[in-house]
């Protein structure tokens, strides 16, 4: 029996809701994408755009000089952006055209706006930009079901891409009770609330009213400073290690885990990557015993958010012994 159902929630539309208790770390669903824009498919939009840019620039260099040449260069950049966008629309539209009727309906059902024949080409790009989720390469993947999961800046689920099976997986990051909405984050959660609102408004055209964003101002300020510090520590760990400050980097990894615990509870996807960085730093310091402890933590946290079959989790399990 599936642990979820798709239900209508007022103000949110179709949403994913737990229909039984779900344990932390449990795989909620795995799904093959409707399509994904891999690096290979992006080559010809890039080539077409580069060709347009080079043609404009070459023409300008022959005919013009000085300020006129600069104006022409700006024009060439705009041409590049326009040709890239048009090529991208054609590539996405071709992916949609190849789908079965049922899958195509799932794809267009993700669009809440007008669906006229005239704006169909622009609509495919809009649906892709607002709903696609990250993979290992390219611009993302579209799913019939995973794309229905709503956003929260304090999510209870995590989506990841498994390159070996070419499927998207969603795991429960903490226990989810029967009747609770299943939510994951569309953006980096280690941003302050103004940064998150800007990213969501720009890329997904909505204002977030999740539990973190609608908290009283004082609580939001505390949360924002904690998330900003987490982001700073996360970025600083590899950089400190590269500059020979390995002990400090390991201390920062401990501090990051504590802060993430306070802000998000036991599970957050940054925990496994921080522990894996700490494992590599400890190995570089020839502290095999310490490194194994970090690998064990990376495995435990990775298992919760990515599942036992994810390559990162398999690697950290192997490093434990
Ligand atoms: Zn939010």
Segment 69-126, tens digit of pLDDT = 677 777 777 877 777 788 788 888 888 888 888 888 888 888 765 555 556 666 788 8
Query: What's the CA-to-centroid distance between 224 and ligand 1, angstroms?
Result: 11
Query: What's the CA-to-centroid distance between 306 and ligand 1, angstroms?
Result: 22
Query: What's the CA-to-centroid distance between 154 and ligand 1, angstroms?
Result: 7
Write down the pTM of the prediction. 0.81
Query: What's the CA-to-centroid distance between 228 and ligand 1, angstroms?
Result: 15
- Whether the pLDDT of residue 236 is over 70: the answer is yes
Which stretch of DSSP H or E encloses residue 158?
strand 157-162
Q: Cα(255)–Cα(229) distance, rounded to whole angstroms?
A: 10
Most confident region among 116-130, 213-227, 298-312 by mean pLDDT: 213-227
pLDDT of residue 184: 95
Query: What's the CA-to-centroid distance between 205 and ligand 1, angstroms?
Result: 13
pLDDT of residue 69: 67
Query: What's the CA-to-centroid distance between 157 and ligand 1, angstroms?
Result: 14
**Which of 152, 132, 159 is CA-nearest to residue 144?**
132
Segment 29-69, tens digit of pLDDT = 999 999 887 767 667 777 777 777 777 777 777 776 666 66
pLDDT of residue 120: 61
> Residue 208 CA to chain centroid, in angstroms?
17
Beta strand 140-142 with 35-37 is antiparallel
- Whether the pLDDT of residue 192 is over 80: the answer is yes
Query: What's the CA-to-centroid distance between 152 and ligand 1, angstroms?
Result: 5
- Whether the pLDDT of residue 274 is over 90: the answer is yes
pLDDT of residue 72: 73
Q: What is the mean pLDDT of residues 3-30?
A: 93
Q: Which of 57-61, 156-160, 220-224 has the lowest mean pLDDT?
A: 57-61
């Amino acid at each position: 029996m599936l642990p979820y159902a798709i239900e209508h929630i007022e103000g949110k539309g179709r949403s994913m809701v737990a229909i039984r208790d779900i344990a932390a770390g449990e795989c909620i669903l795995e799904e093959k994408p409707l399509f994904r824009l891999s690096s290979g498919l992006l080559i010809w939009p890039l080539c077409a755009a580069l060709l347009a840019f080079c043609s404009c620039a070459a023409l300008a260099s022959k005919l013009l000089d000085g300020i006129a040449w600069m104006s022409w260069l700006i024009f060439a950049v705009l041409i590049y952006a326009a040709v890239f966008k048009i090529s991208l629309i054609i590539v996405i539209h071709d992916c949609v055209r190849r789908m079965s009727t049922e899958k195509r309906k799932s794809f267009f059902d993700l669009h809440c706006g007008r669906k006229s024949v005239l704006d169909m080409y622009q609509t495919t790009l809009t649906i892709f930009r607002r709903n696609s989720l990250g993979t290992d390469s390219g611009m993302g993947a579209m799913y019939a079901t995973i794309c229905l999961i709503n956003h929260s800046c304090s999510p209870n689920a995590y989506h990841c891409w498994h390159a070996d099976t070419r499927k998207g997986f969603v795991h429960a990051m903490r226990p989810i009770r029967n009747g609770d909405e299943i939510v994951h984050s569309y953006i980096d959660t280690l941003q302050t609330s103004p940064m998150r609102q800007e990213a969501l408004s720009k890329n997904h055209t909505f204002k977030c009213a999740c539990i973190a964003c609608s908290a009283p101002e004082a609580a939001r300020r505390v949360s924002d400073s904690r998330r900003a510090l987490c982001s700073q520590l996360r970025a600083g760990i590899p950089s400190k290690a590269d500059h020979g400050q390995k002990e400090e980097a390991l201390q920062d990894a401990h501090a990051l885990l504590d802060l993430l615990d306070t802000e998000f509870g036991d599970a957050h996807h940054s925990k496994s990557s921080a522990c894996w960085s700490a494992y590599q730093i400890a190995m570089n310091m020839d502290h095999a015993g310490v490194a194994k402890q970090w690998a064990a933590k990376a495995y435990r946290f990775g298992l919760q958010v990515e599942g036992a079959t994810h390559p990162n989790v398999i690697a950290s399990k192997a490093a434990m012994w």
